[in-house]
Structure 1
Amino acid sequence: MIVTTPIKVRYQETDQMGVVYHANYLIWFEIGRTAFIEELGFKYHEMENEGVVSPVIDANIQFKQPIRYGEEAFVETWLVSYNGIRTTYGYRVLNKDKEVAVTGETQHVIVQKDSFRPLSLKKKFPQWHEAYKRAKGND
C-alpha cells in the first residue's frame, strides 16, 4: 500500500538558492506518514492521548534533484518493514513531473511519553498491528 500526499511548496521552505531546504523534507515525510496512518483509519493524536509517542530512531535521506518554490510536490509513503516493535516507513518525494526528487526512510518505535520506556505496538495497539500487517501484505 502506497499513500500519495500532495505538498504545496511554500516560500518559507526554500533557501537562498530558491530550492527546498533539505531539513524540510523530514517535515514532508511526517506529513506523508500521518496521511498513511490516517488512510489505515487511525489518528496519531489518539495514540498520544494514551500517553504514547512514536519517536524517530533513525532517518535516512537521499537527494536526487531540487524542488523549487511554486512547484508541486508529492510524498509517497509506505511500510518498508514492520515487526511489531519497530516500524520503518519509506518515502519518495516526486516533483511536478512525477520524477523522483528525494527518497528516504525513517524508523520508529513507540514509547511511554513520560518515561520513554519502549512498548510493543502489537500489544499496546493490536488494531494498528493488524492494519500494519495488512498494509505490508503479511496477513
Structure 2
Amino acid sequence: MHISKKEIEVRYAETDQMGVVYHANYLVWMEVGRTGLIQDMGLNYAGMEAEGVLSPVTDVQVSYKKPLTYGDVATVHTWVELYDGLRVQYGYEIYNQHGELAIEATSWHVCVKKENFRPISIRRKFPEWHEAYENIKKK
C-alpha cells in the first residue's frame, strides 16, 4: 500500500474564532492529499476531465481527534482504502508536527460523465487508472 504525504503550514485564514483550524478546511487538505496521491501514481485529474469525466465525492466521514492551530505544520497521509473498478475510497490521516493524530477520514468517489452525471466504469474507460489503483490499494 502506497501512502502519499503532503505538508501544509496552517495559515491564519484557515482558523476560526477559537483559533483552531475551521473544520471544513480539512476537506480542502484531503483534496491536496488526494491530488498528490494521484500524481504519485503518474496520473492527473485534468486528463480525465479533458475526456468529459468527473470524479465527485459521494460520501465523506471525518473524525476530529486533536485541533490544529495557526503556525502548526500538518502532514496529510493519503492512500487508497478500497477500490472496486467503479468506486474509490480514499483514507486520510492528518498529523501535527509532533506526530499526533489530528483527524482520521475517508471519502468515496465515483467517476461520472460530465454531461449527465451517469457513473462510468474506471476499469473499462481508464485502464491505466484501474491498474494503478489495483497496484496501490490497501491489501
* TM-score class, shorter: over 0.9
Partner of 2:77: 76
List per-residue Cα deviations over 1:66-99 (Å, max 9, x = no partner).
Answer: 0001110010000110000010000000001011
Partner of 1:3: 4
Partner of 1:55: 56
SS in 2 for 1:46: helix
Per the TM alignment, residue 137 of structure 1 is displaced from its structure 2 partner at its CA by: 5.9
Verify: 1:118 aligned to 2:119, yes or no: yes
Per the TM alignment, residue 11 of structure 1 is displaced from its structure 2 partner at its CA by: 1.0
Unpaired segments of 5 or more residues in structure 1? none
SS in 2 for 1:119: coil
Q: How does 1:1-139 map to 2 (within 5 A)?
A: 1-136=2-137
Return the alpha-carbon distance in structure 2 between the equivalents of residues 45 and 15 of structure 1.
32
SS in 2 for 1:37: helix
Per the TM alignment, residue 10 of structure 1 is displaced from its structure 2 partner at its CA by: 1.1
Return the alpha-carbon distance in structure 2 between the equivalents of residues 40 and 71 of structure 1.
28
Per the TM alignment, residue 114 of structure 1 is displaced from its structure 2 partner at its CA by: 1.3
Question: Which deviates more from structure 2 when the two are superposed, residues 100-109 or residues 129-138?
Answer: 129-138
Unpaired segments of 5 or more residues in structure 2? none
CA-atom RMSD in angstroms: 0.9
Return the alpha-carbon distance in structure 1 between the equivalents of residues 25 and 138 of structure 2.
30
Question: Is the 8 Å Cα contact of residues 82 and 138 (structure 2) preserved in structure 1?
Answer: no
**TM-score normalised over the length of structure 2:** 0.97
SS in 1 for 2:105: strand
- Percent identical among aligned pairs is 51
Q: How many residues align?
A: 138
SS in 1 for 2:97: coil
